[in-house]
Amino acid sequence: MKPFYSVNFNARMCHIRISVNGIPFISMGVDGQCSTRIPFNNLLLESGTAVIRYEARPLIGETQLHKEAYLSCEVELFDLDSSYEPISTMAQYETPPQNEAVLPYIMDEEAFQVSLPYSVVGWKQSVKLDDSDDRLKAMVFEKYDSIVAMMRSRNFSLFENAFREREDLQGVCFYLSEEDKRGRMTEVEDIITRCSDIAPLSGWDSLEFAADGRLVRLVKGDGESSLRLLSDDEVTVIELWLHIKPGSSELTII
C-alpha cells in the first residue's frame, strides 16, 4: 500500500489558509467559489498523529468575514496501488451557519492518524530559528537573491543542486521514481526558460516561520511564497522552505 493524503476543500468568499503540523501549504483568496483537492504527503514525515488547521479569513482589504463566507474541508486517504477513489476520510470541518454577528475569522484544528511506509528526518532535527535575529532576515534575503540569480542566468546545474534535498524528500513522500523526479525538475526549468521576468524582492516581503520555528521562508502580502515567475498571462509560485541543519550555519532549501 502507498498511502496518499490529500485535503479536499470547498471555499466561498474568504481567504483560506490550511496548515499541517504547523506548516502552511494553502493560502489563497477566493472571491467567488473554489473547490479542489491538494495532496500533502510532503508534510508528513512519519506515522503517528498529525494536526490540520483550517482557517477562513477576510478577503484582502476587508476586516471581517464576508456574510457569504463558507469553508468545508476533509482529509482523504488514497492508496496509489489500488484506486483513484479515497478509501477513507477524516478531519472533517464545515463552517457553521452565519448569524447576524459578523466574525473576524474562523479557525478549526483537527487531529488525525497517519500510517506511512516511510520515515524521514526532514526538519525534525533542524536548528530552531530566532525570529528576532536581524542577521537571519539578511541571510534569508541573501539566499533568495542567490536562487533568483540562478534562474536569471539559467544556471540549472546550480539550481538543481540547491533544490536536491527538497526534491529527494518529495520523492520519498510522493513515491516518485528517478524519472518522475527528473520530470518535475525539467518542468520547472522549462517555466523558468519561458518566463518573461521574476518577481523582485522588496522590503514588503516578510519572514514566515513554521514547524515550531525550524522552517522559514519569504512571503508577499497575500501570504504566498515570494519566489514567483512572471509571464504575459500567468504567475507561477515556487514553493520552498529554508532550514539550518544541525552543526551548520547555512540556510538550505527543504
Average pLDDT over residues 198-206: 92
Segment 164-184 mean pLDDT: 97
83 band by pLDDT with thresholds 50, 70 and 90: confident
Beta bridge partners of 82: none
- Identify the bridge partners of residue 28 per DSSP, sorted by sequence position: 16
Whether the predicted pLDDT of 95 surpasses 80 = yes
- The pLDDT of residue 149 is 96
| Mean pLDDT of the 197-201 span | 92
Closest CA to 14 of 107, 144, 79: 107
Query: Quick one: which of 195, 112, 184 has its CA closest to 152?
Result: 195
Mean pLDDT (whole number) for 147-171: 96
Residue 165 has pLDDT above 70, yes or no: yes
What is the model's pTM?
0.92
Res. 181: pLDDT tops 90: yes
**Segment 225-242 mean pLDDT:** 92
Q: State pLDDT tens for residues 25-76.
A: 999 999 999 999 999 999 999 999 999 999 999 998 888 999 899 999 999 9
Write down the pLDDT at residue 102: 67
**12-51: burial string, b at 16+ Cβ within 10 Å, e else:** bbbbbbbbbbebbbbbebbeeeeeeeeebbbbbbeeeebe
Q: Is the pLDDT of residue 191 over 70?
A: yes
Model confidence band, residue 133 (pLDDT cutoffs 50, 70, 90): confident
